[in-house]
Chain A
Amino acid sequence: MSEAKIIENLKEAIIELDEVKVVEAAKNLIDQGIDPLVAIEKGLSAGMTAIGDKFNIGECFLPELIRAGNTFNAGIKVLEPEIAKSGAKQSQTGVFVLGTVTGDVHKIGKEILAMLLKTRGFVVHDLGEDVSLSTFVSKAEELNADIIGMSALLTTTMPAQKEVIEFLKEKGIRDNFRVMIGGGPVNQKWADEIGADGYAETAEEAVRLAMKLMDTK
């Protein structure tokens, strides 16, 4: 089987959400001595991008994004030992720490964003819901995050977004991170008022904003 065909199989496996197929293709690739980094970029990542595009036009939904992510991880698991042997480094768009702020338990919109970010090559650490101020900051530092993303779906939980930014300032580490905010009642005015680097209304816009913010780092 040609290199191009094997890489195409990897991409198809992601789009078809087929973990068995992705593992077979990845093993096949190793047997044939194909560069795993090329396979990731042109096969697995390209498949994730295609799934993200399908989501954006309403051809698939959150469960498909999650299953695509699981399929991607299954492929990476096979390829990782080969990458380690070669000493090469897998490229990534950036490290994104994400959560819903304290007092707020809304999760699905945040999960959609997490998956869409993954389709664009971000390493995403989803801290979950009702995330405390200290957890946001300590995890961002620990994981050397590029971007902190905070979701708030209630007017009474929006102030927690401001708290995190003020805490970062008081610790003298505000400039180490780009900070994005989102959620139903949040808007650009609020983002400006609290000193966030950006606001996005939808998950798609948030991904575009994250890519743009990475260019400013």
Chain B
Amino acid sequence: MLNFYEVFYRFLEGPHISEMDYDLDFDQKLRDTVTKYGIKYDPQNPIPQDDQMADNVFAAGLEFYEKIGTYCIDTLRVATFTKREILEALAEAPSEPVFGTDKDAKKLIARPPESDLPPWFFIGAAGAAVTDERVLAAIVEGYGQVPYGNSITTPSITKINGRPIIAKTPLEVLGSIRTVEVSKAALRKAGRAGMPIMNAISTATSDAAKIAGSQFGLNPADGIMVGSMSELKMDFQRLNEVAYALHCGSNIVAESGPLLGGYCGGPEGLAVANVAYHLQSILVQRGTVHFTFPIHFKFSSNTSRNTLWSTSISNQGISRNSKFPLLTSGILASGPGTEMSFYENAARTITTCVSGGGILALGLAKNVQTDHLTPWDPKFSVEIALSTLGMKRQDANEIVKELLSKYESKIPEAPIGKRFQELFDMETLEPGNEYRELYYKMKDEMKTYGLKFAT
């Protein structure tokens, strides 16, 4: 595989192109590729069952990435890679990386569609905001207690010393450091001292804050999350993070968030672009794992029928053709403590699990409402996921269609639910009666769709 600096030099020496021209070129080449491979969205089947189409989506993503490359917004240049270079990277990509330490260390392996192996459970609402350190500590401790959880992502604190954290300032550096310190202590309290934090510094928007935070308790077996800009763009700041992580020997969680309705266009383009991100995450972001969250531009969530379809077909394509591990995040439109959130959670979790890869559970209320997250929403995801092991896509498709009928029309006006503090006891981390009763009521309802639980 090309080494990182060979890739970086292409950002310094590749052809110049304006950002708008790159964006429109992205659109045109993506459209052409979708047409060439005959990829067609099928709203009747949110979980498609056509292996050939899944392979076509993967092949289309590979061809598209070869044609479009990655854009650098600092140099206004494109780094492109030959098919041979991309295939070499795919062949040499990490396939069984270890995350975590001591008894919490575990291999993260790629998982094919309809697998009977449990998926990797990446617990937490990636980047969601919490008020302060007190809520952060309680939430992270709760995440540490989620059964079968393999890793966590911390939320972002919004205040430090009682004042709002402002991007690119010393307050952001301090906030990033405190996030790591508080989260590590909370995991120790939960009895999961070695549980890897794959995104410990979501408070950080700058490379400086991220690197500073990582000096205060992260180790290479955790993970530094390096995001891509949309669509298929990087900047020096993100590349600096890669350089730092590589030289620490740290795991890298290569993040992407392709947008349905943006330059990816509709669901077919979104699926193909998601594959291109998978390849970029190996070559450019130098990932140890690819973490992606295809998302709807209008609903800021990914439980709509078209985003489920895109996720399913691209996850199938990736999981059938790549040994580089994949994690996919669910972001619900509705918030905690609402019936709708359980329907969305189940639909998203089932779709992801039977389509291949592991899951990140779980963003709620579009991941934008402060303190709208609980440890029991990912616990529900875990229970749902375990009930789908070995399930056929056809059966899962029928269940997801039924679940969609319960919430689909409500997505534009989804209820935001309640804050963690309103639903849970912050000291005991136990849910109040309102949430507990709803949880078990919804779990019982899931049994009526054919899902089987151990308890």
Contact = CB atoms under 8 A, between A and B. Distances in A.
A156 B297 contact: no
Contact of A61 (B23, B24, B266): B266
A185 B235 contact: no
A108 B297 contact: yes
A155 B367 contact: no
A159 B259 contact: no
Interface string B179-196: 000000000000000000
Contacts of A103: 166-168, 205-206
B263 A156 contact: no
B164 A159 contact: yes
B265 A154 contact: no
A154 B262 contact: no
Given A66-B24, A108-B263, A160 B297 contact: no
B166 A61 contact: no
Contact of A156 (B203, B262, B264, B266): B203
A155 B158 contact: yes
A63 B263 contact: yes
B230 interface: yes
A67 interface: yes
Contact of A109 (B175, B297, B369): B297
Given A103-B205, A156-B205, A62 B262 contact: yes
Nearest to A105: B229
B300 A108 contact: no
Interface in A102-122: 102-109, 111-112
A156 B230 contact: no
Contacts of A187: 369
A133 to B, nearest CB: 12
A184 interface: yes
A107 B20 CA distance: 12
B378 to A, nearest CB: 21
Interface hub of A63, A106, A159 (most chain B Cβ within 10 A): A63
Contacts of A157: 166-167, 205
Contacts of A90: none
Interface of B: 20, 23-24, 27, 73, 129, 156, 158, 164-168, 172, 175, 203, 205-206, 229-231, 235, 259, 261-266, 297-298, 300, 366-370
Given A66-B23, A103-B166, 7 more contacts: A61-B266, A62-B262, A66-B24, A102-B168, A108-B262, A154-B156, A155-B156
29 contacts: A58-B261, A61-B262, A61-B265, A61-B297, A63-B23, A63-B24, A63-B265, A66-B24, A103-B205, A103-B206, A104-B167, A105-B73, A105-B229, A105-B235, A108-B263, A108-B297, A111-B262, A112-B261, A154-B205, A156-B164, A156-B165, A156-B205, A157-B205, A158-B164, A159-B166, A160-B166, A184-B300, A184-B367, A187-B369
